Structure 1
């Protein structure tokens, strides 16, 4: 995936699904269910049990063209392992050595930052977009303020983003939002979550609404 392709995917989908869980089989099923139900921009957090195997198996099932990435990429070793496992983009929680390593490997990067200094540092390291993280303590008003000195930067709020705040962040100028628990729920844990499909439909409707131009 080229950097422009990641930005275009975020702009078009408006939603990045984040899978983090404690059961590898359930996490894999969650990834495949998301794609099957139309949410086709997904990151698997490396904190997930068996995350690299989940990425490998999901890549084998979905094919080379699927927009499947790795999240919580902290180190250069994490970036290399994620790339080997089939991730086509990387998401970091902060400005770490993983940003430069991922770029060196040809992976576009969504780098975590929350302050202007961190945003500037992430851009210097080569981030293609900024993961505003954690977003919840800052809120949509903070995103509006942050965009004033960084009008050309693409922001993706992550962390505590639910259906209600997702609308507010998108209205405040976010390129997309990253959603984990409010979308995935307990699906990536033992026993799964029978309400996953219902939440997928709700978030898809939200994203499609945000993508429609207003009259």
Structure 2
């Protein structure tokens, strides 16, 4: 999987984390149907590895499907076996190097310049700026692009449709959206409401022109 191209094309990663495994699966499938094909199932959700396995079977072999909150080598191995084809971490951790050993692309969580250098040294393909809203939001991304102009950043944390547009305009490769997009759908809430939010997010990221 070419993660950079997928992110550049779709511009948003949906982060699914729920207390209801069946609802989480329904959420994944609804997102894909509504034009948000880049989906990460977080290991902090209930029965997440099984959700990934079931989602892979339902989506087919070619749909991009990620695993999030991958911290350890064991996490990376489990999601690889379940059918994930990219890995997302919340930090610089052992999950990065093991995922790379398994030939899975990695969106690695960073917050500081030191994190950025460390994640790159471990082979991370893309860097997840997290938690972006607490780091300083779009202004912090703009500051980081000074010393790291060619690093592909994906801000995550507190990203709604308006903030998504701002990050993309400031040069983010893509954004990650959790609760502002998913709401309570992965806990058994309304899938119809999720579909409405998904369409709004897809529209929001479609036409933003980034600064260079």
How high is the TM-score relative to the length of structure 1?
Answer: 0.95
Deviation of 1:193 after TM superposition, in Å, equals 4.4
SS at match of 1:119: helix
Q: Does 1:176 align with 2:161?
A: no
Pairing 1:123-202 to 2, within 5 Å after superposition: 123-137=120-134, 138-202=136-200
- How far has the Cα of 1:124 moved from its partner? 0.4
Distance (Å, rounded) in 2 between the aligned partners of 1:208 and 1:113: 25
Cα deviation, residue 213, structure 1: 8.4
Contact 2:27 2:191 in 1 (8 A): no
The TM-score with structure 2 as length reference comes to 0.96
* Structure 2 counterparts to residues 69-148 of structure 1, below 5 A: 69-137=66-134, 138-148=136-146
Q: 1:191 to 1:145 in 2, by over 3 A?
A: closer
Residues 1:16 and 2:13 are matched in the alignment: yes
Q: Which runs of 5+ in 2 are unaligned?
A: none
| Aligned-residue offset at 1:38 | 1.2
- In structure 1, runs of 5+ residues without a counterpart are none
Tell me what 1:38 maps to: 35
CA contact (8 A) 2:154 2:174 kept: yes
SS at match of 2:192: coil
Q: Give, in angstroms, the shift of residue 168 of structure 1.
A: 0.9
Structure 1 ranges of 4+ moved more than 2 A = 190-194
1:40 offset after TM fit, Å? 0.5
Instruction: Choose the corresponding residue for 1:58, options 55, 60, 79.
Output: 55
CA RMSD in angstroms, aligned pairs only: 1.3
